[in-house]
Amino acid sequence: MKTAITENHANLNDPIPAPPGHANLNDPIPVPPGPENHMDIFRTTRETKIRQLNLQYFMLVMFFAAAALLVPYPAGIAGASEKESTIEQALKRGVLKVGMSTFVPWAMQDKTGRLIGFEIDVATRLAADMGVKVEFVPTKWSGIIPALLMGKFDVVIGGMGILPSRNLKVNFSIPYDYTGMSMTASKSLAGGFDSLEDFNHKDVVIAVRLGSTAVSAVRKYLPLAETRMFDDETQAYQEVINGRAHAVVGSAPTPAFQTIRHPDKLFLPLSGTFTKEPIGFAVRKNDFDTLNFLDNWIRYVDAEGWLQERKEYWFETTEWESLIK
């Protein structure tokens, strides 16, 4: 039996009234003053810590930067940027000092005592393009690298082969020439010899110039032969002409020229050369401005054909022989 709800009873869906003096249970819960919720509190704390860390990092960077300024540089580093290049020194001096050694037809004296030859032409043109005079410093070949390192001259322009062992001591420009080893032999001691194998015996004497790449060529291709070294190339050739050595090994075309001069004493046992090596300017280490100038000068004169013209004159003709006889 259903009973009707009277006016004196509350509807079950109505909110429950709060007792006197207490907040209504249906009112929103009050939030303490400050950040709106706990996520805001966490975010604020994290940002504060990040700002503190950034400040500490900045202070450390500034500290080490300031400390670095107070540390003195080693003398070599401090003066590196202040040191003038060899080219700059030559320009101020008005003279380019060139180390060389006599060696036909690269550098030799004419009838009047004046230096002539392929390397002399190259060095003279280089100095002229720099707007300075050239000063040649004749030096024994065996001591030419030590003399360069001691500052006796600015550059070696003397048919120097680019070898790894030399490159450890000096810097080389790009090649401005290529040469190779050839040989002239004594008719009385080596008549009938026509190959390297014929000269590779213990009873054979080969004359070479001390400190030249001919020394390494003989040791590589004629290891059994006796090597006899001389300070001056002329002495090496004279040893063969006098019949005291079987042959002389030297940079082409010198052996061929010597054979033409002494046809009754010498002959060419080999055709052409048996090695090939690049030739470059030698300068002191850590002088990149000078090296850059020399490299680009070589490219320039090579492109205009001047180097080839000089090579043909000195190495493919004998027109210059009248200047020294």
The amino acid present at 322, given as its one-letter code, is S
Q: What is the CATH number of domain 86-176+279-323?
A: 3.40.190.10
Q: b vs e for 197-206, b when ≥16 Cβ sit within 10 Å of the residue's Cβ?
A: ebbeeeebbb
**86-176+279-323 and 181-275 share one fold:** yes
For 247, list phi and psi in degrees, rounded to 5: -160, 165
Token pair listed for 49: 């810590």
Give tens-digit pLDDT for 242-279. Answer: 999 999 999 888 898 899 889 999 999 998 899 998 99
Nearest Cα neighbor of 256 from 176, 177, 314, 189 is 314
Most confident by average pLDDT, 26-30, 71-75, 159-163:
159-163
Give tens-digit pLDDT for 27-68. Answer: 555 555 554 454 554 455 556 556 665 555 555 555 555 555
Nearest Cα neighbor of 235 from 155, 99, 142, 133 is 142
DSSP 8-class letter at 103? B
Pick the CATH number of 181-275 from 3.40.190.10, 3.30.420.40, 3.60.21.70, 3.90.78.10: 3.40.190.10
DSSP 8-class letter at 248? E
- Report the range of poorest mean pLDDT among 76-90, 116-130, 236-250, 303-317: 76-90
Confidence of residue 83 (pLDDT cuts 50, 70, 90): confident
Domain layout of the chain by residue ranges: 37-79, 86-176+279-323, 181-275
Q: Is 96 helix (H, G, I), strand (E, B) or coil?
A: strand
- What pTM was estimated for this model as a whole? 0.64
